[in-house]
Amino acid sequence: CMSSNYKKSTNCKAEAEYAFNRKSKIIPLIVEPEYKADGWLGFLAGSKIYIDFADKEGEEFEKAYELLIEELKRNGLHDIKRSQENITTDGTATETESKPEELKKECQQCRIETREYLNFPLASMWNEQHVEEFLTDNKLDQLIHICESMDGEALIEFHRSCEAKPDIMYGLLNNPKEGHPLSFGTFFKFIAKLKKYLPKKSMSKVYFRYNFIYPSSNATEAATTAKEMNKPR
């Protein structure tokens, strides 16, 4: 996320340099209007394709999100596949390596997948269960632990923070060292998907005020008198 705040942050700089040194693929996202990266951030971004999310709403935000997904795919995201089992040198599958994957599948099967939240058109009407249903239904599982105990109103406030300061919020939410990584795709997908359940912004009305100037009573009487005097007798 490229912005003035991101460049000033020492933690963000260390994170970006770490990714650069590991030769990780970097996709620059502009989250500040008319921002141009310079210094160390400009060096890391280089001539890469920029995706502008700054002040984007509605269709513009959806287009930026689609560009991000396409760029992730172009950088090989669709080729990333976890092997279900590791093969040892003698050709047998190791049982210990397959257990985490099996546990993951069991957890997914045990999860109650309901869509009751769809009966409520606005997120402000959701309870905690509805929030979890929304995240699960839209494949936003990486945010479930973050949004734990949130009802609809709390989720809306969380969404506002993510939309207003995406660079700061993403840095706070992405904790791969603690076992809670958050991908850019999931982060911006959450912002896009929840907008469907927020009240539409009302159009601002413009009022015009007209001032009419009427002649004073004295001027009217004088004009009437003059008119009567000029009548032919």
Kindly report, residue by residue over 39-87, the tens digit of the pLDDT.
Answer: 877 777 776 777 788 777 777 888 888 888 887 787 766 544 443 344 3
Mean pLDDT of 12-39: 78
In a domain, 89, yes or no: no
98-100-105-110 Cα dihedral, nearest 10 degrees: 140
Of 10-24, 173-187, 219-233, the least confident: 219-233
Residues 127 and 194 in one domain: yes
In a domain, 207, yes or no: no
Residues 111 and 194 in one domain: yes
Q: How far apart are CA 158 and CA 180, in angstroms?
A: 18
Per-residue pLDDT reduced to its tens digit, 121-161: 999 999 999 999 999 999 999 999 999 999 999 999 999 99
Q: How many CB atoms lie within 10 A of CB 180?
A: 13
Could you tell me the pLDDT band of residue 226, with boundaries at 50, 70 and 90? low
The parent domain of residue 68 ranges over 1-77
Could you tell me the pLDDT band of residue 38, with boundaries at 50, 70 and 90? confident
Give the Å distances, CA to CA, from 206 to 147, 163, 179, 202, 203.
Answer: 39, 27, 51, 12, 9
Give which of 144, 181, 184, 147 is closest to 166, Cα–Cα: 184
Give which of 180, 80, 185 is closest to 138, Cα–Cα: 185
Report the amino acid identity of residue 101: E
Packing angle, helices 152-164 and 166-173, rounded to 10: 120
Q: How far apart are CA 6 and CA 164, in angstroms?
A: 14
Cβ atoms of 19 and 13 closer than 8 Å? no
In a domain, 164, yes or no: yes
Number of domains in the chain: 2
In a domain, 97, yes or no: no
In a domain, 91, yes or no: no
In a domain, 134, yes or no: yes
Residues 171 and 130 in one domain: yes
In a domain, 162, yes or no: yes
